[in-house]
């Protein structure tokens, strides 16, 4: 079953680009990464999905229901962590969380205590006195309090230290095992690599790729680094499939390659080399390729 379904979703802000013609689905039980550089349109997409802003055209459905028409009903089933959290600073953490819990027909007290303990959040502190990372934890507990079926996280880890990030990821994995579907928006690519099954890549408001993480990592790209003898000719590498071409003053050359591995090895064999390395690129390097250009060789 599709938990999220976007069809040609478009939002312009007074003529300026927000998002354009976005279509993708997220299935029940997935941890889905939503990746893009700053200003790509991630928050706009999420706010439209939550029924908080009106799309200019196209539609967004959650659990098969239109996000605008059924907004309030759907939001009860969603845990949302916005990229920036704002609170009434004078409140105590527990008062805020109890207030949030009162919107749902569940007794969330036990869950609140368990989540707060897990995330080392002091419920008796005033929100005013909390650091940025601790405020983020309030948002996390608030978002997960009602055991939502869909968890939408917009840049969730900013401000969390590495230990807390780890705890948070474990928590998300547990929620996912219990059946929650998760949409995780980020520009930090290693997070997506660690947690997600599939990823949508968005750039300048448009979807530019939709991939399984395993496909992205496994078969598509290899990273070559080679040290050529001085004065060697690099033209054998001016072929489609070679991107991210970089040269260093010591004659070292590196590039990403996508294509028939025999083809590139024959070209390498035609050169006089001092050294050669073949590595798995990390996702960062692969995504950079998407961000910068989708065409041709970089030689
Ligand atoms: N309220 C608004 N009014 C006008 N333009 C907006 C508004 N909100 C977003 N935009 C524009 O829409 C585009 C997408 O912005 P959005 O905040 O959705 O991107 P993002 O991927 O979430 O970026 P970031 O990672 O920086 O938060 C940007 O060009 C932004 O300037």
* Position in ligand 1 atom list of the atom nearest CA 154: 22
- Mean pLDDT score of the chain, rounded to an integer? 87
Q: How would you classify the pairing of strands 150-154 and 181-186? A: parallel
Residue 244: strand, helix, or coil: strand
ipTM rounded to 2 decimals: 0.94
Domain interval for residue 122: 2-216
**Looking at the predicted structure, is the pLDDT value of residue 62 above 60?**
yes
**Looking at the predicted structure, is the pLDDT value of residue 293 above 60?**
no
- What is the distance between the alpha carbons of residues 229 and 51, in angstroms, rounded to a whole number? 60
Tokens of 183: 């949409």
Protein residue with least CA distance to atom 25, ligand 1: 38
pLDDT digits 0-9 by tens, 235-285? 778 888 898 888 887 778 999 898 888 999 999 998 888 999 998 776 667
Which of 161, 185, 216 lies at the terminal end of a domain, its last residue?
216
Protein residue with least CA distance to atom 2, ligand 1: 13
Q: Any idea what the CATH number is for the domain that residue 230 is in?
A: 3.30.70
Would you say 201 and 42 are in contact if contact means Cβ atoms under 8 Å apart?
no
* Position in ligand 1 atom list of the atom nearest CA 16: 5
- What is the distance between the alpha carbons of residues 244 and 289, in angstroms, rounded to a whole number? 7
Ligand 1 pocket, CB under 6 A: 13, 16-18, 36, 38-44, 83, 187
| Side-chain half-sphere exposure of 7, counting CA atoms within 13 A | 11
What mean pLDDT comes out for the span 166-170? 94
Q: Quick one: angle between helices 162-177 and 132-144, nearest 10?
A: 10
Which of 216, 235, 256 lies at the terminal end of a domain, its last residue?
216
Report, in angstroms and rounded to the nearest whole number, the Rg of the chain calculated over CA atoms. Answer: 23
Q: Same structural domain for residues 247 and 207? A: no
pLDDT digits 0-9 by tens, 4-52? 999 999 999 988 989 999 999 999 999 999 988 888 899 999 999 999 9
- For residue 299, what pLDDT band results from cuts at 50, 70 and 90? very low
């Amino acid at each position: 079953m599709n938990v999220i379904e976007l069809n040609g979703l478009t939002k312009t802000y007074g003529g300026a680009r927000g998002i354009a013609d976005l279509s993708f689905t997220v299935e029940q039980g997935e941890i889905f990464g939503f990746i893009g550089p700053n200003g790509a349109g991630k928050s706009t997409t999420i706010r439209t999905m939550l029924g908080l802003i009106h799309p200019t055209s196209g539609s967004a459905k959650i659990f098969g229901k239109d996000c605008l028409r059924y907004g309030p009903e759907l939001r009860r089933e969603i845990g949302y962590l916005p990229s920036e959290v704002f609170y009434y600073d004078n409140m105590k953490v527990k008062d805020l969380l109890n207030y949030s819990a009162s919107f749902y027909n569940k007794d969330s007290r036990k869950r609140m205590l368990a989540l707060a303990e897990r995330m080392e959040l002091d419920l008796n502190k005033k929100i005013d006195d909390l650091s940025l990372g601790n405020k983020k934890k309030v948002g996390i507990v608030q978002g997960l309090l009602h055991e939502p079926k869909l968890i939408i996280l917009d840049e969730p880890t900013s401000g969390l230290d590495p230990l807390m990030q780890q705890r948070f990821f474990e928590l998300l994995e547990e929620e996912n095992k219990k059946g929650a579907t998760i949409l995780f928006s980020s520009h930090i690519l290693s997070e997506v690599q660690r947690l997600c099954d599939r990823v949508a890549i968005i750039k300048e408001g448009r979807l530019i790729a939709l991939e399984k993480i395993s496909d992205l990592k496994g078969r598509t790209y290899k990273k070559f680094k080679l040290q050529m003898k001085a004065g060697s000719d690099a033209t054998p590498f001016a072929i489609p499939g070679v991107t991210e071409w970089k040269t260093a003053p010591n004659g070292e050359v590196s590039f990403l390659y996508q294509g028939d591995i025999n083809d590139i090895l024959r070209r390498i064999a035609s050169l006089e080399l001092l050294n050669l390395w073949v590595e798995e690129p990390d996702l960062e390097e692969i995504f950079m390729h998407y961000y910068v250009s989708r065409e041709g060789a970089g030689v």
